[in-house]
Amino acid sequence: MARTCLAVVLAAGESTRMKSSMSKVLHPVGNRPMISHVMAALEGAGVDAVALVVGRDAQAVEDTARKHALPLSVYEQTQRLGTGHAVLAARQAIAEGYDDVLVVFGDTPLITGAPLTAAREGLAAGHDVVVIGFQAANPHGYGRLITENGALLAIREEKDASSDERAITYCNGGLMAVRGDKALDLLNRIGNGNAKGEYYLTDLVEIVVALGGSAIAVEAPEQELMGCNTRAELAVIERIWQERRRHDVMLSGVSMIAPETVFLSYDTQFEQDVVIEPHVVFGPGVSVAAGAVIHSFSHIEGATIGPKAEIGPYARLRPGAKLAAKSKVGNFCEVKKSEVGVGAKINHLSYIGDTFIGAGANIGAGTITCNYDGINKHITRIGDNAFVGSNSSLVAPVTIGASSLIASGSVITQDVPDNATAFARSRQENKPGHAEVVRARNAAFKAAKLKADEA
């Protein structure tokens, strides 16, 4: 769109109903702060700059918003005197002369660029104010959009609405676009002659109409305009966001056996033909290549999974885990900050941290890389085609050579050369007939304990 656009993002609410130590716009949806979802939608709508109106947790909110590419100016709202007053906190930015001014809220994480673009198109068509509305399944409590022949005449709050107006299901979503060259004049005309003594942004519609201007409404899906005031509403928004994201992922060529049990992050990336079994959680920073299989009850965060790799069930991949093609991390295994080579296997009950595992290596059940000395982390290197026997402890820093064999139960504290076998355990000793001696001793101990208890 050739027109320039400023978005005023209102993020100064006290968030009291969230019962939280931080601003509600910082609460995550899909492991991303709500305000970051809003910023992404603004990018999708071709916005040129953002005026961020902050209050509580101002610095944290600003820092989060600045992670996006849009130029940002920040304004503090020191008094809470209504939405119209909040927008005017960004007076300086509005005065810079953008063609379009969008007003959005920092707690509407389901919004997309589509309705914002539609609102801008309404301004481009010559209208002065464009309100984004929705058809409400239950309109109770919402302001109704009063329209006639396509024009928007007023926004009527329910307490002020007639019985006929209350029957209207076309409701105010709160977001709107205002013609830039008229924005300040219109905003300055908003009064506070109401029971609360506040300045309501919704009054702009009747102000424009009274001045002979033009206002219209554009429709968006109700879900996109959902705001968040409580933890219960946050959970509903999370559910909707997850449903939307799962749907998109499955359409891209990913199979989910029970999609309602899979939880994704905003940046989870999948190639085609990935299979995800039930009850899998993806934290931030995960990419999964074509043909990989993620078995049930796995938790994955900050990991890169190669083509046709196999994860789980009950596996945990932590940040820095990098799995090459056809590798496997099996049940009850944890991998952190480690590279697992092509075709390498970590099948059962193992912890692998700060480790490089070569192609074709096999890590036996119960193997632990002892990477932490209480102060520093150390590296373990396991060569191609090495075989580490079950219940082994590899005490880093240590290198296990290519094609070497580690005997089960070993505690390896020194490097093992290529193609060598390492034993690091006590030699077994058998004592014929000694089992009877041990049992008799144990029985005598038990009898003496019972006698003492009776006494």
Are 282 and 321 in contact by the 8 Å Cβ rule? The answer is no
For residue 201, what is the DSSP state?
G
Q: Do residues 369 and 396 make contact, with C-beta atoms less than 8 angstroms apart?
A: yes
If phi > 0 it is left, if psi is from -120 to 50 it is alpha, else beta; for residue 442 that is alpha
Residues sharing a CB contact under 8 Å with residue 162, sequence separation 6 or more, in sequence order = none
Overall size of the chain counted in residues: 455
Q: Give residues with Cβ within 8 angstroms of 150, minimum separation 6.
A: 216
With H, G, I as helix, E, B as strand and everything else as coil, classify residue 324. coil
Segments of 67-169 assigned E as strands = 72-76, 100-105, 129-135, 144-148, 151-156
> What is the spatial distance between Cα 184 and Cα 179, in angstroms, rounded to a whole number?
10
**Alpha helix (H) ranges present in 405-433?**
none
One-letter-per-residue 3-state SS of 243-265 = HHHHHHHHHCCCEECCHHHCECC
Beta carbons of 399 and 384 less than 8 angstroms apart = no
Residue 194's SS3 state is coil
434 is catalytic: no
CB 341, CB 359: distance < 8 Å:
yes
Active-site residue (options: 37, 140, 348, 434): 348
DSSP 347-389: EES-EEESEEE-TT-EE-TT-EEE-B-SS-B--EEE-TT-EE-
List all residues 6 or more positions away from 102 whose beta carbon is below 8 Å from its beta carbon. Answer: 5, 6, 7, 8, 42, 45, 47, 116, 119, 120, 175, 176, 177
Question: Pairing relation of β-strands 151-156 and 144-148?
Answer: antiparallel
d(CA 352, CA 330): 12
Q: Is 214 exposed, middle or buried (0-12, 13-18, 19+ CB in 10 A)?
A: middle
Active site residues: 348
